[in-house]
Structure 1
Amino acid sequence: MHSHLYAKTLLLLVACSLATSLGCNSEPPDDRPARAKVTGTVTLAGSPVAEARIQFHAVNKSQGAIGKTKTDGTYTLTTYEAGDGALPGDYVVTISKTEVASGLTEEEKLKMQEMGRPVPSPKTSELMPKAYTKSASSPLKVTVTADGDNHFDFDVKK
């Protein structure tokens, strides 16, 4: 009987010491560089662009940031964690939006799989002017500041 009580006590002690050694912090310390919140809107010839991919490419080749526009064209950038912004510095900005030009229906894909045939990838087309989709040719340049208003609107011309 004593050994049963001893086992329970030992188990309780091990569980308590494990809980203590792991700590109760829900967030580990963030030792990554400080980011500044970056928001804005993407429009194409004045109209909001939904589901566009926006990328901030660091001029100094350090960490960049990415975002995706909502239906109203607004975006918030992410570097490490959703919505954490971008590192302060100079960036070239690229914007890309692809659309599926043609593809198979789900039923057609299923038939091809059943027949053991490879399912072709759907064809896509780029909706943004080509210059804006590559960092080497994009005319969009911004500077993110540590304590400034980092709100950048981009009206892409066709």
Structure 2
Amino acid sequence: MPVSGRVSLDGGKVPGPGFIYFNTDSGTGGSSRPGTAEFDADGNYTAKTYIPGDGLLPGKYVIRVDCWKTAPNMDGKPVVSFIPDRYQNAAKSDLTLTVEPDSKSITFNIDLLSR
């Protein structure tokens, strides 16, 4: 199912491009295939499972988001994120999405809160 939308931070623009990870909630009996999306500097994204733009398979997803000021690296420099840790960890994230089998197209906007 096509899934697209916009990521925002406190109702405004996110500070840069980043990634969204649609982790499957295996306890729901839906898809076991996760999805991803890259969002641009304006926060716009289109989800994919296999190829760009193909969307997500039916099922329930727990969402995590990465948007780095200083990304993880091999040289040991400290990482700095533009967004709170709770959105970067699927176990802490309260962001969820359910894709129903009969969905045609889903617009799913994600407003992250800095507090």
Query: In structure 1, what is the equivalent of residue 97 of structure 2?
Result: 142
**RMSD (Å) for aligned C-alpha atoms:** 1.9
Deviates more, 1:138-147 or 1:76-85: 138-147
Name structure 2 gaps, 5 residues minimum: none
Identity, in percent, stands at: 32
CA deviation vs aligned residue, 1:52-75 (integer Å, no higher than 9, x gap): 210111101711000111121110
Query: In structure 2, what is the equivalent of residue 26 of structure 1?
Result: none
- Answering whether residue 49 of structure 2 is matched by residue 54 of structure 1, we say no
1-structure distance, mates of 2:90, 2:75: 29
The TM-score with structure 1 as length reference comes to 0.61
More helix by share: 1
Query: In structure 1, what is the equivalent of residue 70 of structure 2?
Result: 100
Deviates more, 1:84-93 or 1:49-58: 49-58
Name structure 1 gaps, 5 residues minimum: 1-35, 102-118
- Answering whether residue 74 of structure 2 is matched by residue 74 of structure 1, we say no
Count of aligned positions: 106
User: Structure 1 residues 131 and 81, CA, compared in 2 at 3 Å: closer, same or farther?
Assistant: same
More strand by share: 2
1-structure distance, mates of 2:75, 2:40: 29
Q: Work out which of the residue numbers 39, 42, 45 in structure 1 matches 2:7.
A: 42
Q: Cα distance, 1:46 vs. partner?
A: 1.1
4+ residue stretches of structure 1 with deviation over 6 A? none
